[in-house]
Chain A
Amino acid sequence: MKLTIKNWTGVATWRWVANDDNCGICRMPFDGCCPDCKLPGDDCPLVWGQCSHCFHMHCIVKWLQSQPVNQQCPMCRQGWKFNNK
């Protein structure tokens, strides 16, 4: 072996991949954060429902808390279930 890699330090960036650009509740871009947060990133995560719709976690939690019965996805009106795959 003439040449061997001893160490390798990779650098990568991550961004959300959602099926939409904006959060359906607050209409802010997913690259940004929900209106209550100051900084995007790990502190303001996205969540997916089983219906495959995606929101800022803070937004959907707030929505669900305001719905005493029939907790539904605000986009498709199916019952909301977190997709924890």
Chain B
Amino acid sequence: MSLKPRRVDFNQTWGAIRDTIKGVITLDHVPRPIWNDRFSDVYSLCVAHPEPMADRLYAETKQYLIDHVSKLLVQVQEEGEQSLIKSYYHYWSQYSVGSQYLHSLYLYLNQQHIRTQKMSDAEIIYGSSDSSGGEQMEIGELALEVWQSGMIAPLGQRLVKLLLEAIGEDRTQKTCSIPIDAVRGTILSFVEVQGYKKKGQLQLYQELFEEPFLKESGEHFKRDAAKLLQEKNVSLYMERVKAKIEEELLRARRFLHASSLSKVSQRCETHMVAEHLEFLYSECTAMVQGERKKDLSNMYDLLKSVQNAMVLLIDTVLDHIKTQGLAAIGNIDTENIHITFVENMLGVYKKYKLLIQEVFKSDQNFMGALDRACSSVINHKFGKPVCKSPEFLAKYCDALLRKSSKGISDSEVDEKLAESITIFKYIDDKDVFQKFYSRMLAKRLIHQQTQSMDAEEAMINRLKQACGYEFTSKLHRMFTDMSVSADLNNKFNAFLKQDNIDLGINFSIYVLQAGAWPLGQTVTTPFTYPRQLEKSVQMFENFYHNRFNGRKLTWLHNLCQAELKLGHLKKSYLVTMQTFQMATLLLFEHTDSLTFREIKESLQLTSEQYHRYAASLIDCKLLIADSTELKPETILRLNMEYNNKRTKFRINAAVQKESPQEIEQTMNSVEEDRKMYLQAAIVRIMKSRKILKHNALIQEVYAQSKVSFAPSIQLIKKCIESLIDKQYIERTPHSSEEYSYVA
């Protein structure tokens, strides 16, 4: 056949087409040649000569479809209300497929005639004037549109009512008298019938079906919740509600369009969770205190999606952790209080961290609560003027790093130290910890009691990571001094060898930088060296002064230690002791008894501190006193019967222990350091800001110092006052609440 436009008789051709589309739309058999002929008939009508007859064809087709759908409407209703959905679905499946075929048959009309009139995407998006003004649609779309107006419009309400009943039935009886396919197909037909639209595809579905459905479901949930509430059992209720939500989601997935899923679960949560928060909360405290994991996890799942509902749960958890923490570290009254403190606290921390991971899926809010709880527990003062936690933690680290910690492998020590950082991070007074830690480190280094240098350095690096370079710089300098001293010892020994000098003893020395070591204001005591030591000390001082010009050495006798061989007993013993102890014992070289006064005079030591050393010698039974209290007249003699299973031991441990005075001294020096730190911070801030309001200044100072400690406002005020006295800053003339920097 020719594609050339020709004269066509419309009525005759339309007649043929109408017969065929009747077959197409009802999915009847249409033979291929006939289909082909009708396809070309559509073409020839569209290009007919002299006038194309496309518009007429369109109008006739539309009329045909309208008539067809109204016939179907009658048929759908014929079988009665009971099977309305079923027959609707039956005819809909037929019609929707048939209309697609019809669409193909009219391909030429669609593409050449209609699409050219259609609005472009851009016109739709940017909202060109009128979209519905009698415009022609593609045949497939036309068919759907006709269905909507001819079928859904008159039947919609009735269908929806039946659908809701069907779903209600599914809810209560778990079965559905109407096949699920039909229900689902009918519901989805509301979406499909608008599927061709570029926007608002879901509008019909939402207005016609979803809204009443959600309302109905809401009522249902309310009733359900009321029923469940009667049992007054929170954990059972939560379980039921969780199951209910699951079930409703499954149902929604079976029946509804995917866009409704979240709306259904939200509706469910509103009616079953949000409206009964009081009820859920009523057992919240008990649950948390009992640590009922399953209940808590249910509670979390339910509350998660309700806005602001979690706050109370979080607070309860926080309080609980706090109570547990305080209980764990509150009443420790053992000898090793520091170890118990750290281990109990870590126990609490780990337990609740695990709980939060397990039950609350590591929710950030709960992690935050854990942090807050731990930091308030760790910084709790238990009615004492200062918080003891930094001290305990430092002691704990000391115990681990010291040589004496037996039976623990290196990796275990490392692990424990790593864990202690967790607690360190919560400590507010990090500077107090640093003071204690550095004192203990100093003692470990000087008395050669470090277990392993690697462990020491690893620990310092951890602290550096947590608190920054400034925090550990002094600790690093102590390490440097140790290596410098080792070098110095080598050089000194080489020098001795070169000059052929024999000191008579094994001599080694630590030379430390005065500022870097936390050794307190050690009062340099007058002290006469035992004869055996004189030469060594003299030689070294000469050596040092020749080598380093302009430096002054100060001996710290209380830190020096000696190893003394005791030859007066049955066995010979090697005893490590402190220099004053050694000097005392050496006095007995040529005599067996001396009075306390004589000893003091020959050593030129002041009484108070020497008291401790002498007493320690009596305590370990190397000396015998003839009275229990040390008086100047007390006679001391060597214990010739001394016996000890071990032949090598140390007796300076007692002297090395931190005395209460030392602890107090540490606290005082912390206080002083804080003042300096705050003043420096204030001057820095004022120098850059020139003029600043009181509150703003306090805030900035607080922010800067937060890394190492939490200063009290009072202390900051005091520092501001003292800086005003020193004329670094002054109050501005027009306001007492404002300061300016004095250049």
**Pairwise interchain contact B517-A13, C-beta atoms closer than 8 A:** yes
Q: Considering only CB atoms, which chain A residue lies closest to B503 in the complex?
A: A8
Name the interface residues of A15-60: CB closer than 8 Å to any CB of B: 15-18, 31, 38-42, 46, 48, 54
**Residues of chain A with a CB closer than 8 A to B585's CB:** 3
Once A13-B513, A41-B477 are accepted as A-B contacts, the answer to whether A18 and B506 lie under 8 Å apart by CB is no
**Pairwise interchain contact B536-A31, C-beta atoms closer than 8 A:** no
Once A3-B565, A14-B511, A46-B550 are accepted as A-B contacts, the answer to whether A9 and B517 lie under 8 Å apart by CB is no
Q: Which of B162-170, B494-502, B551-559, B725-733 contacts A (4 or more CB under 8 A)?
A: B551-559
**Pairwise interchain contact A9-B560, C-beta atoms closer than 8 A:** yes
Q: Considering only CB atoms, which chain A residue lies closest to B506 in the complex?
A: A7
- Interchain CA distance A4-B568 in the complex, whole Å: 10
Select which of A5, A7, A12, A42 is within 8 A of B553 by beta carbon. Answer: A12
**Pairwise interchain contact A11-B555, C-beta atoms closer than 8 A:** yes
- Interchain CA distance A27-B339 in the complex, whole Å: 47
CB B423 to nearest CB in A, in angstroms, measures 29
Select which of A2, A10, A16, A17 is within 8 A of B568 by beta carbon. Answer: A2
Once A12-B556, A13-B519, A46-B550 are accepted as A-B contacts, the answer to whether A3 and B514 lie under 8 Å apart by CB is no
**Residues of chain B with a CB closer than 8 A to A38's CB:** 473
Once A2-B567, A3-B586 are accepted as A-B contacts, the answer to whether A10 and B550 lie under 8 Å apart by CB is no
- Interchain CA distance A3-B574 in the complex, whole Å: 10
Query: Would you call B566 an interface residue if the criterion is a C-beta within 8 Å of the partner chain's C-beta atoms?
Result: yes
**Pairwise interchain contact A7-B551, C-beta atoms closer than 8 A:** no
Query: Would you call A6 an interface residue if the criterion is a C-beta within 8 Å of the partner chain's C-beta atoms?
Result: yes
Query: Would you call A77 an interface residue if the criterion is a C-beta within 8 Å of the partner chain's C-beta atoms?
Result: no
- Bitwise interface map of B from 512 to 526 toward A, beta carbon under 8 Å scored 1, else 0: 111111010000000
Query: Would you call B549 an interface residue if the criterion is a C-beta within 8 Å of the partner chain's C-beta atoms?
Result: yes
Query: Would you call A1 an interface residue if the criterion is a C-beta within 8 Å of the partner chain's C-beta atoms?
Result: yes
Query: Would you call B279 an interface residue if the criterion is a C-beta within 8 Å of the partner chain's C-beta atoms?
Result: no
Once A14-B548, A14-B551 are accepted as A-B contacts, the answer to whether A2 and B514 lie under 8 Å apart by CB is no
Once A3-B564, A15-B552 are accepted as A-B contacts, the answer to whether A10 and B484 lie under 8 Å apart by CB is no
- Interchain CA distance A5-B448 in the complex, whole Å: 18
Select which of B507, B514, B516 is within 8 A of A10 by beta carbon. Answer: B507
CB A17 to nearest CB in B, in angstroms, measures 4
Q: How large is the interface on A (under 10, 10 to 19, 20 to 34, 35 or more residues)?
A: 20 to 34
Once A1-B567, A15-B514 are accepted as A-B contacts, the answer to whether A48 and B508 lie under 8 Å apart by CB is no
Once A3-B564, A4-B564 are accepted as A-B contacts, the answer to whether A9 and B533 lie under 8 Å apart by CB is no
Once A6-B574, A12-B555, A13-B511 are accepted as A-B contacts, the answer to whether A39 and B563 lie under 8 Å apart by CB is no
Query: Would you call B618 an interface residue if the criterion is a C-beta within 8 Å of the partner chain's C-beta atoms?
Result: no
CB B473 to nearest CB in A, in angstroms, measures 7
Query: Would you call B722 an interface residue if the criterion is a C-beta within 8 Å of the partner chain's C-beta atoms?
Result: no
**Pairwise interchain contact A14-B562, C-beta atoms closer than 8 A:** no
- Interchain CA distance A77-B104 in the complex, whole Å: 109
Select which of A4, A8, A11 is within 8 A of B533 by beta carbon. Answer: A8
Once A12-B554, A13-B556 are accepted as A-B contacts, the answer to whether A6 and B565 lie under 8 Å apart by CB is yes
CB B223 to nearest CB in A, in angstroms, measures 74
- Interchain CA distance A38-B516 in the complex, whole Å: 13
**Pairwise interchain contact A15-B554, C-beta atoms closer than 8 A:** yes
**Pairwise interchain contact B511-A9, C-beta atoms closer than 8 A:** no
Query: Would you call B204 an interface residue if the criterion is a C-beta within 8 Å of the partner chain's C-beta atoms?
Result: no
**Pairwise interchain contact A40-B515, C-beta atoms closer than 8 A:** yes
**Residues of chain B with a CB closer than 8 A to A10's CB:** 507-510, 536-537, 540, 555, 560
Once A7-B562, A8-B562, A85-B549 are accepted as A-B contacts, the answer to whether A13 and B512 lie under 8 Å apart by CB is yes
Query: Would you call B505 an interface residue if the criterion is a C-beta within 8 Å of the partner chain's C-beta atoms?
Result: yes
**Pairwise interchain contact A8-B507, C-beta atoms closer than 8 A:** yes
- Interchain CA distance A5-B178 in the complex, whole Å: 106
- Interchain CA distance A41-B514 in the complex, whole Å: 9
Interface class of chain A by DSSP? strand
Once A7-B563, A85-B549 are accepted as A-B contacts, the answer to whether A2 and B589 lie under 8 Å apart by CB is yes
Q: Considering only CB atoms, which chain B residue lies closest to A84 in the complex?
A: B549
**Pairwise interchain contact A16-B551, C-beta atoms closer than 8 A:** yes
- Interchain CA distance A31-B513 in the complex, whole Å: 10
Q: Considering only CB atoms, which chain B residue lies closest to A10 in the complex?
A: B509
Query: Would you call B665 an interface residue if the criterion is a C-beta within 8 Å of the partner chain's C-beta atoms?
Result: no
**Pairwise interchain contact B513-A6, C-beta atoms closer than 8 A:** no
Once A13-B519, A54-B550 are accepted as A-B contacts, the answer to whether A6 and B586 lie under 8 Å apart by CB is no
**Pairwise interchain contact B510-A3, C-beta atoms closer than 8 A:** no
**Pairwise interchain contact B513-A41, C-beta atoms closer than 8 A:** yes
Q: Considering only CB atoms, which chain A residue lies closest to B481 in the complex?
A: A41
**Pairwise interchain contact B533-A3, C-beta atoms closer than 8 A:** no
Q: Considering only CB atoms, which chain B residue lies closest to A8 in the complex?
A: B562
- Interchain CA distance A5-B508 in the complex, whole Å: 13
**Pairwise interchain contact B560-A8, C-beta atoms closer than 8 A:** yes
**Residues of chain B with a CB closer than 8 A to A7's CB:** 505-508, 562-563
- Interchain CA distance A1-B530 in the complex, whole Å: 15
Q: Considering only CB atoms, which chain B residue lies closest to A1 in the complex?
A: B567
CB B579 to nearest CB in A, in angstroms, measures 8
Query: Would you call B561 an interface residue if the criterion is a C-beta within 8 Å of the partner chain's C-beta atoms?
Result: yes
**Residues of chain B with a CB closer than 8 A to A6's CB:** 505-506, 562-565, 574
**Residues of chain B with a CB closer than 8 A to A11's CB:** 446, 509-510, 512, 555-556, 559-560
**Pairwise interchain contact B512-A15, C-beta atoms closer than 8 A:** no
- Interchain CA distance A11-B448 in the complex, whole Å: 12
- Interchain CA distance A76-B379 in the complex, whole Å: 57
CB A40 to nearest CB in B, in angstroms, measures 6
**Residues of chain A with a CB closer than 8 A to B530's CB:** 5
Query: Would you call B588 an interface residue if the criterion is a C-beta within 8 Å of the partner chain's C-beta atoms?
Result: yes
Select which of B540, B544, B561, B588 is within 8 A of A3 by beta carbon. Answer: B588
**Pairwise interchain contact A3-B568, C-beta atoms closer than 8 A:** yes
- Interchain CA distance A16-B550 in the complex, whole Å: 6
- Interchain CA distance A3-B537 in the complex, whole Å: 19
**Pairwise interchain contact B505-A8, C-beta atoms closer than 8 A:** yes
Query: Would you call B452 an interface residue if the criterion is a C-beta within 8 Å of the partner chain's C-beta atoms?
Result: no
**Residues of chain B with a CB closer than 8 A to A9's CB:** 448, 508-510, 560-562
Query: Would you call B465 an interface residue if the criterion is a C-beta within 8 Å of the partner chain's C-beta atoms?
Result: no
**Residues of chain A with a CB closer than 8 A to B544's CB:** 14
**Residues of chain B with a CB closer than 8 A to A85's CB:** 549
- Interchain CA distance A13-B506 in the complex, whole Å: 20
- Interchain CA distance A16-B551 in the complex, whole Å: 4
**Residues of chain B with a CB closer than 8 A to A8's CB:** 505-508, 533, 536, 560-563, 579, 582
**Residues of chain B with a CB closer than 8 A to A31's CB:** 514-515
**Pairwise interchain contact B560-A3, C-beta atoms closer than 8 A:** no
**Residues of chain B with a CB closer than 8 A to A4's CB:** 564-565, 567
**Residues of chain B with a CB closer than 8 A to A40's CB:** 513, 515
- Interchain CA distance A39-B586 in the complex, whole Å: 41
Q: Considering only CB atoms, which chain B residue lies closest to A42 in the complex?
A: B484
Known contacts A5-B582, A8-B508, A10-B536; 18 further A-B pairs (Cβ under 8 A)? A1-B567, A1-B589, A2-B567, A3-B566, A3-B567, A3-B588, A5-B505, A5-B530, A6-B563, A7-B562, A8-B562, A11-B446, A11-B559, A13-B553, A13-B556, A15-B515, A16-B550, A18-B550
The 6 closest A-B pairs by CB, nearest first: A2-B568, A11-B559, A7-B506, A7-B563, A10-B509, A17-B552
8 example contacts (A-B, Cβ-Cβ < 8 A) are as follows A5-B586, A6-B565, A7-B506, A9-B508, A10-B540, A12-B512, A15-B554, A40-B515
